[in-house]
Amino acid sequence: MSHGTSTSAGSGSRSYGFFSRLLRPRNSDAERPDHGLFKESEGSITSIAWNNMSKNSPEATRIRTLELLGDIVKKRRLEVTSMEGIYHEIRDLLKTANGRGPSLKFLSIMTAAQIEQIGACLRHTFFETIKEIGCNELSVEWLVELTQSGENIEPFTVHIGPVLSSWIDELLAEKDHPLAEKVMKLTDGILKKNAPALNGESLSKIVCAVCRKACIPCDAQIKMCLSLLASILKYNRIPKAEVLAVVTTLCCLVNDRIHSAEAHQLMRNVLSSRNGYTTMRLLENICQRSKEPPKNVDIKTRDIIVRGAIFFLSTIIWGSNQIDDLQVTPPSILPALIEAPSTLLPLSDAML
């Protein structure tokens, strides 16, 4: 009886030893590209790997298997069916505290390495999963890999705008959120490669969030916000409902020594766009109604905006930076300049 017990224990020990070697290979094993998890032929993985990833295996075993597979999928091609199987086998880990990070990281690695193999259906599934997870460091990285930094947004072209606009609005509402720049960079990539995908309410939400952030003095993300506005102007357009927000933002920033040159160039771009005359009328209105600022604008902010408006109006028709595309004469804008508060007149005289 004791002999039988010893044999059983020995068998269990050998089984555990094999299992340990599979998940924690010796140096000689680590040099092999398959690590015992891939089949000899490319495209699939062994039954051992499937078993180790299954819901019946301990969570630690599943996570360790994903770590090993993460290194392997960078070098070996997977079939679409294998990737679909892996995703459905590990998707429950995305909902656990310990499994969410490793599984997201693996899916991002697999997506980057196998991007040419991933079909439309699986791409859509991945996007919907990212959307469900929400904005965090690993989900953002996964979306960057899935879209190839904005170059390929099929088959979720009509859905990516609302996701990005929601993320940007959320991130820019916080002070110096570390993910804000990464999401804005992805948005910039989409504007350059797939500009029509960002339109309507999504584009308005992005412009509004960017302008709101750019008006915060000394914020470290102002430069990136201005860069995104420049891309919107170049590859898309400013929604009509947000032109006033852009105009007042640039009027504020042109008074900022650090960002004045960028704000000036952006305003020239706005004035040269299809919104040029609308923008000019808004600048005139800012000057003419400056004595009655909106309730949410204090006197100090009003003065900053009016000074910017005076500067931009003057450059439309005077000096080497005048906008030739606008058919404007000095007498047409002088009434607006005259209406500016008397405290600003010395500054306007200097600008003129």
pLDDT band at 224 (very low <50, low <70, confident <90, very high): very high
Q: Name the residue ranges covered by the structural domains of the chain.
A: 42-118, 148-236, 239-351
* 56-82: average pLDDT: 93
Does the structure show a pLDDT above 90 at 321?
Answer: no
pLDDT for 19 equals 36
pLDDT of the residue at 248: 95
- In this structure, which amino acid lies at residue 73? V
Work out the average pLDDT over 11-16.
42
Residue 48 CB partners (closer than 8 Å, separation 6+): 22, 36, 37
| pLDDT over 90, % of the chain | 67
What pLDDT sits at residue 330? 82
Mean pLDDT value across residues 128-137? 98
pLDDT band at 324 (very low <50, low <70, confident <90, very high): confident
Q: Which residues pair with 38 in a beta bridge?
A: 45
Q: Is the pLDDT of residue 68 over 60?
A: yes
User: What's the CA gap between 62 and 68, in Å, rounded?
Assistant: 10
* Whole-number pLDDT of residue 78: 92
What's the start-to-end Cα distance of the chain, in Å?
105
Give strand pairing partners of 8.
none
pLDDT of residue 10: 44
Residue 11 has pLDDT above 80, yes or no: no
Q: Is the pLDDT of residue 21 over 50?
A: no
Stretch among 115-129, 243-257, 336-350 having the lowest mean pLDDT: 336-350
Alpha-carbon gap, residue 195 to 186, rounded angstroms: 12
pLDDT tier, 208 (very low <50, low <70, confident <90, very high otherwise): very high
Q: How far is CA 30 from the centre of its chain?
A: 37
pLDDT band per the 50, 70, 90 thresholds, residue 38: low
Residue 212: C-alpha distances to residues 29, 194, 306 (Å): 55, 25, 18
Q: How far apart are CA 223 and CA 253, in angstroms?
A: 11
Q: What is the pLDDT of residue 300?
A: 86
pLDDT band at 17 (very low <50, low <70, confident <90, very high): very low
325, two tokens: 């595309």
Assess whether pLDDT exceeds 70 at residue 73. yes
- In percent, how much of the chain has pLDDT > 70? 83
> Residue type at 111?
T
Q: Note the pLDDT of residue 32.
A: 44
Specify the higher pLDDT residue, 346 or 124. Answer: 124
